[in-house]
Structures are given as C-alpha cells and as structure tokens.
Structure 1
Amino acid sequence: MAKKLSAGSMASLFGAAALIFASIKFPWWGMKFYAPQYMEGLDIIVYPNKLEGDIDIVNGLNHYIGMAPFSNESFPELQYLPGLIMGLAAIIIIVALVRKKILLYVPPALLVVGGALGIYDMNLWLTKFGTELDPKAPIELEPFVPPIIGENILANFVTHSYFTTGSFLIGAGFLLTLLPFWLERRK
C-alpha cells in the first residue's frame, strides 16, 4: 500500500493553492513608459482580469505610430484567466486532500505548462501590436516587438517591462508545489 503524503506536504500544497488564488487580486505584469514629456512615466498594469494605468494616454500616443488601441476587450484571456487560476488552485487542494504521492507531479506540471503558454501568449500579443502598424500613421516606424521583461527604446520613449506581485505569488506557489518532493524523499 502506497504511503500517504505527510502533513507537511499537505500544508505546502494548501499554501501553494492559497498563493495562486491570491494572485488574482494583484497585477502580474506591467510596462512603464518614460519620455521627456512624461518624466513621471506612464503605466500599463495587467491583472489576470483587467488592464489598468494610463491606457487612454498610451493609446493616444500609439495612434501616432499606427498601433491599434488596446483595452480589456482586446484580450479575451482576461475573461477566463481568473477561472483557470481558481481551477488550478482547486486541483492543488484536491491533490493535497487525496494525499497520493503520484499526484504530486500534477501541480508543478500544470504550472510549467500554464506559465509557458502564458509567456507564449504575451509574446504573440506584443508581436501583434508592435508589428501590425498602420502604414498611414503620422509617424512611420519599423515594426518592433516590445520585450516581456527588460528595456526597449522607441523614438524618445524608454519602456521598462516587468513581472510584478501576482507573478511572484505564482512563482512562490510553484516552489511550494515542489517542496513535497523534498519532504517525501525518505518515505
């Protein structure tokens, strides 16, 4: 008969589920735009279910380079991502309650696959917005792809892209899904 997960492993999985669930309330990613006329910077802040920040100003500026405007409606992922996150947290709780060691592979595997798909999706959107520029725009630029993380310079704007609180909570949750492998190593 297979041994059941220890209380420590169960607690680690419950902690992972709590962090992943809590990430819904925090921003996951952002961009900050600096220029001489915007010394304080303009923000785009991405939550799992909405965009916040200086969206209207950024859209107004992007019009000059022919970039399509963006909004919450532009990204269908914002409609279903919170449900996927809650589903993932629920799966982790189920694994903790069932207490079978073989199921320990499920949460980290789902997080790796989900993370890879999320990064891929972000790159698709950044590519679409940066390369599908209107050729009739007042300012003609070569197509570009803003980075997911890091700095980008475009005309007189310096842009910083970064992960933020929600992503760090997901990362901590991922680490907590790995901890049971260490806790159960001698059992």
Structure 2
Amino acid sequence: MKSKKFSIGSSLLITCSAILFGVSAFFPWWKMGFYAPQYPEGLNIIVYPTKLEGQIDIINGLNHYIGMANFGEKNFPELSYLGYIVIGLVVLTLLTAIIRNKAVLYGLISLITIGGLLGIYDLHHALYKYGTNLDPHAAIKIKPFVPPIIGQNQVANFTTHSLLGLGTYFILAAFVLLLIPLWKERKR
C-alpha cells in the first residue's frame, strides 16, 4: 500500500518554498521601463505586492498627453490585500510541510496555479484598460494599444520594456520546490 505521506526531505523542500514565497514580498514582482530620446536613462513603474514605485508622477504627466488614466496605488485595489495573500500562502505552505500529506500538497499546488493564472489575467486586464480607454479629447491622438506583460512595445517616441521582477522569480523557484516532492516521491 502506498503511503500518502511524503518524506522529511520533501517537507524541508516545501519549507524552503514557504520561505521563498515570504521573501518574494520584499522584491518587485513586475516592472515597466519607458525609454525615449528625452529620457535615455528611462522612467520606471515598479510593482511590489503592496506598493508602486518609480517615476510615476512623470509618467502620469506624459501619459496625460495621450489621454491615458493616471497610474497610482488607488487604481490597483490588489495592492491593499496582496500582502495578506502572500502571508496566507506562506502559512498554507508551512502547514503543508508539517502535515506531509500528498493530497494537501496537490491542493496547494492547484491553489497556487489558479492564483497565478488569475494574477496574470488581472495584470493583462489592467494593461488593456490603460491602453485602450484613452481620452478622445487628448492633445495627442494615438491608436489604442495593449502593453505586453513581458516584452517590448512602441508608443509614439517611447519604447517600453515590460519584465518580471526578482520577486516573481522567487515565486517561480518556490513553485518548482513544491513540484520536486511530487517527482521525488512518485514511487513511494
């Protein structure tokens, strides 16, 4: 009869995963850099799970000319509760390491997968909303656009580069650490 419990070694991997989830909250999860001849050093919007940083006021001043809504923490309600979700994820992951039950681990992995997909959808939806709901009375008329989550985009004389932040790489590493026990213990 196969055991539904996983080994202490797997439990330690899951504990490391919980630590990485927690550490991710202190680093940016996503970043968008704006480059133009007048801003060769670039302007940035840096997204943490609980706040926005970067030259947001300058970017908002420039975006006003094309009729784009202002970026700001008040426009992203996710920033008010995402930190609590990270804390909950750390607690659930630690409980999974303590309980050592494969079914619980499958449930945690499923929850993280669904949460990750919802997060990607939410970011895409926000980018879509900002790039397509342009004020028709703006000083500069441009075609609606959707900035990519990862990649490059050209808007007027600005080139934007969107990329994942270090916090997201911690999350991905934590997720991989959760998958290793499933592979390692497949014959147990």
Shared fold by TM > 0.5? yes
What aligned pairs does 1:55-94 form with structure 2 within 5 A after superposition? 55-94=56-95
Asked whether the 8 Å contact 1:104–1:180 carries over to 2, the reply is no
Q: How many residues align?
A: 187
CA contact (8 A) 2:29 2:167 kept: yes
> Aligned ranges for residues 9-24 of structure 1 at < 5 Å?
9-24=10-25
2:159 and 2:131 map into 1 onto residues whose CA distance is 15
Residue 5 of structure 1 deviates from its aligned partner by: 1.8
- Give the conservation status (yes or no) of the 8 Å contact 2:4–2:103: no
- In structure 2, the partner of 1:96 is 97
Percent identical among aligned pairs is 54
- Per-residue CA deviation, residues 48-98 of structure 1 (Å, 9 max, x unaligned), is 000000000000000000001111111000000011111111111111111
Deviation at 1:23, TM superposition (A): 0.5
Change (3 A) 1:101 1:75: same
Give the match for residue 5 of structure 2.
4
Q: Where does residue 32 of structure 1 map in the other structure?
A: 33
- The residue aligned with 1:49 is 50
Once the two structures are superposed, residues 11-37 of structure 1 have per-residue CA deviations (whole angstroms, 9 ceiling, x without a partner) of 011011110111110000000010000
Cα distance in 2, alignment partners of residues 177 and 37 from structure 1: 46
Which whole-Å CA distance do the structure 2 matches of 1:3 and 1:124 have between them?
Answer: 40
CA shift, 1:3, in A, is 4.8
1:132-147 aligned within 5 A: 132-147=133-148
The alignment's TM-score, normalised by the length of structure 2, stands at: 0.97
Give the match for residue 185 of structure 2: 184
TM-score by length of structure 1 reads 0.97
Equivalent AA in structure 1 for residue 96 of structure 2: V
CA-to-aligned-CA distance 1:103-141 (integer Å, 9 cap, x gap): 120222122111100000001100111111111100011
Cα distance in 1 for partners of 2:116, 2:105 equals 18
Letter in 2 for 1:177: L
| Residue aligned with 2:140, SS | coil
Question: What amino acid maps onto 2:156 in structure 1?
Answer: A
